[in-house]
Chain A
Amino acid sequence: MELEKFYYDNRIVRNFSIAAIVFGVVAFLVGLWIALELRYPQLNGPFSWLTFGRLRALHTNAAIFAFVGNSIFAGIYYSLQRLLKTRMASDLLSNIHFWGWQLIIVAAAITLPLGITTSKEYAELEWPIDIAIALIWVVFGVNMIWTILKRRERHLYVAIWFYLATFITIAVLHIFNSLALPVSMLKSYSVYSGVQDALVQWWYGHNAVAFFLTTPVLGLMYYFVPKAANRPVYSYRLSIIHFWALIFLYIWAGPHHLIYTSLPDWAQSLGTVFSIMLIFPSWGGMINGLLTLRGAWDKVRDSAVLKFFVVAITAYGMSTLEGPLLSTKTLNSIAHYTDWIPAHVHIGTLGWNGFMAFGMFYYLFPKMYRTGLYSEKLANVHFWLGTLGILFWALPMYISGFTQSLMWKQFNPDGTLVYSNFLDTVTQLFPFFFLRAVGGVLYLTGALIFVYNMIKTATGGKFLAQEEAEAAPLAPNYEAHKGDHWHRVIERKPVQFALWITIAILIGGVIEIIPTITVSSNIPTIASVKPYTPLELEGRDLYIREGCNACHSQMVRPFRSEVERYGEYSKAGEFVYDHPFLWGSKRTGPDLHRVGKKYQGDAGAVWHYNHMWDPQEMNKESIMPRYPWLFSLEGNDGTLNTSSTEAKLKAMQTLGVPYSDEYIANWQTELEAQASIIAEGLNKNPDIDVEPNEEIIALIAYLQRLGRDIEKNEVVQKQP
């Protein structure tokens, strides 16, 4: 067999690497900023786009899709070519993938601070960007699969299996979770509502962790750890077994994000069972990664690359043990909604994802720039700063989570709550908030040293864009036509064909099926639960715009401590008109599902009015920011935009919310009537002068409605 000469494309690897590093620093900076805002809410000043509620989504999206995403692509484009002994199939597709992905990130960086969001975690981007993501993702997949078909190495190394699973699963998850009915270019409503929306969201959300932050990074581990250690992986057989086990189990674990919520118990248990089973394949990966270094631990002492990998894999092992434990009801009842969850997540992202990426870049830059690493010493400094950063981040948050959870549940002997004021359980955590920011500073400092090291390495070397390589083509194993392209395609056709057909059917068919199903399921099981009024609906959209759900849940769990604190526990039937659901996942502030009852009538409206204007004036230690832009005061224009109210109501009607055509036609009368009642009530207070058309009125209308329908009559459980 003749050796064929070809060139690896290093340029695309370099581009993705640079993007990953730049956006990584941005993600860390935003993270540090919002960590400080959690302690000093005044930091955002008069700027709405600097608040925690809006920037939290920017931070998570930047970390997941910009930093880790670009790192993954860099690693995949580097390793795929070498494992398959071929250049990427199409430079054009590579470039479209690169620039398309960066444009999506820029679009996210603009829209999220402006409050353009769907509110669904890690899927906050609005529908036009979602479509762009789907298209670019397909470009990536086609390029990868095409390259695989062109390969010169028959065996697909285990890393490639991980890449393939990533592509297929993320495509499906993204499409299903993003199904929404557009109202305008920048606004849409999830086709699912309430419990159903929550289930789809966390089916997606957990698998985003599984198939975006885990499987591709495991693929990178299987390439870069053996390469850096110059040792074969500990057990190739184990890698095959744990790969198949992992991808079959992961997709079922999503409901563990909804334990003790209104999701039916059996679905919660399903999530728990699969989560616990996941320990085995996850630890298969950890063991395989760490044992690859057996007999080579002396190299770890000398190589910063391997140091990063060892801590990354250890962090992976720890968080994949912690995850299943948190999926049990006992631990979940303590940890959920507290700082324990961010601690768990950051062990995964800072430790596993971040350190895998850093190790990989320390390995890649000298390779691509044909030189040695500029400074091994600085890399070691980065390693220790990063490791300390992770510990300073996570350990205080573990303590903080435990502390707050126990305070929430603490009862006096007479049966009343010891800490009935939620704020008392927050002020207790201030020292830990401070330590977390210290952790962030350490991690960021390490990352900046890393950037310097990479720049010096790059400028000290000479970039090799086209790396020459030689390999024999695949032996055609069934026909005499040597290297005949057509036959090679036909040879694999049945499997490929079936695969593409399945995906096509899946997408097409289900897009039709889902709306029908969700519409018919919107029959309320609680008769007194009614759709939102136009004003409340607009208020709800303001709640979404400001990202209130980043800090406030709307899900009272059936615990004595929560019923005592908030009121009646939340029922599935109360959320049937909630497109999207707003249960939240973190209680930096108190749960709001029963806040309607707590602050009702004119007095309640005045409380909300004053509180949104200046929370610190009402509670000196409150860490909620001010929302002056909701008011037409001090030069602000807080006029509620009602230009798409009718379109919103119509969209809701299409989704199955029972608004009559007549009701929609009269939306304006309805809205203005409700607004003037609230405004009149507020204006009775001598210190308040408010117009009915201000945004704050709509928000108050929504907040006062929250969780109240259930009071009107007894719960009627209709049989479905």
Chain B
Amino acid sequence: MEIIFVLITVSLIIALIFLSAFFWSVRSGQFDDDYTPSVRMLFDDETKKEETTTKS
């Protein structure tokens, strides 16, 4: 069952990668604003205003 130690190590390293990503994201202000990103992604202003009417 020694393999479990390898798997735990690997899993922890992945977790550490995610943890550092999490710290980076918090420190760099990724999550300072937890509302506008959800609205901003809705606006993809098309430069050429072609008609893209869907029948919905």
Q: Which residue of B lies closest to A236 (CB)?
A: B38
Evaluate contact between B11 and A252: CB separation under 8 angstroms. yes
State how many angstroms separate the Cβ of B15 from the closest Cβ of chain A.
6
CA separation between A267 and B8, bound complex, in Å? 11
CA separation between A244 and B22, bound complex, in Å? 8
Evaluate contact between A502 and B41: CB separation under 8 angstroms. no
Q: Which of B32-50 contact A (CB under 8 A)?
A: 33-35, 37-42, 44-48, 50
- Selected contact of B11 from candidates A83, A251, A470, A513, CB within 8 Å: A251
Q: Is A373 an interface residue (CB 8 A)?
A: yes
Evaluate contact between A248 and B15: CB separation under 8 angstroms. yes
Q: Which residue of B lies closest to A366 (CB)?
A: B54
Evaluate contact between A264 and B3: CB separation under 8 angstroms. no
Residues of B within 8 A of A110 (CB): none
Q: Which residue of A lies closest to B24 (CB)?
A: A495
Q: Known contacts A232-B42, A517-B3: does B18 contact A165 (CB below 8 Å)?
A: yes
Evaluate contact between B24 and A367: CB separation under 8 angstroms. no
CA separation between A367 and B47, bound complex, in Å? 14
Evaluate contact between B52 and A302: CB separation under 8 angstroms. no
A 458-474 to B, binary, CB cutoff 8 A, 1 in contact else 0:
00000000011110000
B 1-19 to A, binary, CB cutoff 8 A, 1 in contact else 0:
1111111001101111110
Q: Known contacts A370-B52, A372-B54: does B3 contact A155 (CB below 8 Å)?
A: no
CA separation between A303 and B55, bound complex, in Å? 9
The stretch of A43-51, A222-230, A591-599 in contact with B is A222-230
Evaluate contact between A251 and B34: CB separation under 8 angstroms. no
Residues of B within 8 A of A240 (CB): 31, 34
Evaluate contact between B34 and A376: CB separation under 8 angstroms. no
Residues of B within 8 A of A161 (CB): 25
The count of chain B contact residues (Cβ–Cβ below 8 Å) is 43
Residues of B within 8 A of A302 (CB): 56
CA separation between A372 and B51, bound complex, in Å? 10
CA separation between A230 and B35, bound complex, in Å? 15
Evaluate contact between A236 and B3: CB separation under 8 angstroms. no
State how many angstroms separate the Cβ of B47 from the closest Cβ of chain A.
5
Q: Is A518 an interface residue (CB 8 A)?
A: yes
Q: Which residue of B lies closest to A514 (CB)?
A: B6
CA separation between A186 and B7, bound complex, in Å? 27
State how many angstroms separate the Cβ of A515 from the closest Cβ of chain B.
11
Q: Which residue of A lies closest to B27 (CB)?
A: A495
Q: Is A498 an interface residue (CB 8 A)?
A: yes
The count of chain A contact residues (Cβ–Cβ below 8 Å) is 68
Residues of B within 8 A of A367 (CB): 52
CA separation between A223 and B15, bound complex, in Å? 25
Evaluate contact between A518 and B2: CB separation under 8 angstroms. yes
Q: Known contacts A240-B34, A244-B22, A518-B2: does B41 contact A168 (CB below 8 Å)?
A: no
Residues of B within 8 A of A199 (CB): 1, 3-4, 7
State how many angstroms separate the Cβ of B28 from the closest Cβ of chain A.
8
Q: Which of A58-105 contact B (CB under 8 A)?
A: 82-83
CA separation between A233 and B39, bound complex, in Å? 8
Residues of A within 8 A of B41 (CB): 82-83, 157, 223, 226-227, 232
Q: Known contacts A156-B30, A251-B15, A499-B20: does B3 contact A192 (CB below 8 Å)?
A: yes
Q: Is A311 an interface residue (CB 8 A)?
A: no
- Selected contact of A203 from candidates B7, B16, B37, B55, CB within 8 Å: B7
Residues of A within 8 A of B20 (CB): 495, 498-499
Residues of A within 8 A of B5 (CB): 517
CA separation between A226 and B44, bound complex, in Å? 13
A 143-173 to B, binary, CB cutoff 8 A, 1 in contact else 0:
0000000000111111001001100110010
CA separation between A223 and B40, bound complex, in Å? 11
CA separation between A521 and B2, bound complex, in Å? 7
Q: Known contacts A264-B1, A517-B3: does B39 contact A232 (CB below 8 Å)?
A: yes
Residues of A within 8 A of B18 (CB): 165, 168, 244, 247-248
Q: Is A673 an interface residue (CB 8 A)?
A: no
Q: Is A520 an interface residue (CB 8 A)?
A: yes
Q: Is A22 an interface residue (CB 8 A)?
A: no
State how many angstroms separate the Cβ of A461 from the closest Cβ of chain B.
10
Q: Which of A689-703 contact B (CB under 8 A)?
A: none
Evaluate contact between A196 and B34: CB separation under 8 angstroms. no
CA separation between A176 and B42, bound complex, in Å? 39
Evaluate contact between A168 and B14: CB separation under 8 angstroms. yes
Sorted nearest first, the 7 A-B pairs with minimum C-beta distance are: A232-B38, A196-B3, A236-B38, A372-B55, A237-B34, A232-B39, A495-B24
Q: List 18 A-B contacts (CB under 8 A).
A: A82-B41, A83-B41, A158-B37, A176-B6, A176-B10, A200-B7, A236-B38, A251-B11, A252-B11, A367-B52, A372-B55, A468-B46, A468-B47, A498-B20, A499-B17, A520-B2, A521-B1, A521-B2
> Which positions in A face B, CB cutoff 8 Å?
5, 82-83, 153-158, 161, 164-165, 168-169, 172, 176, 192, 195-196, 199-200, 203, 223, 226-227, 230-233, 236-237, 239-240, 244, 247-248, 251-252, 264, 267, 299, 302-303, 305, 366-367, 370-373, 376, 467-470, 495, 498-499, 502-503, 506, 510, 513-514, 517-518, 520-521
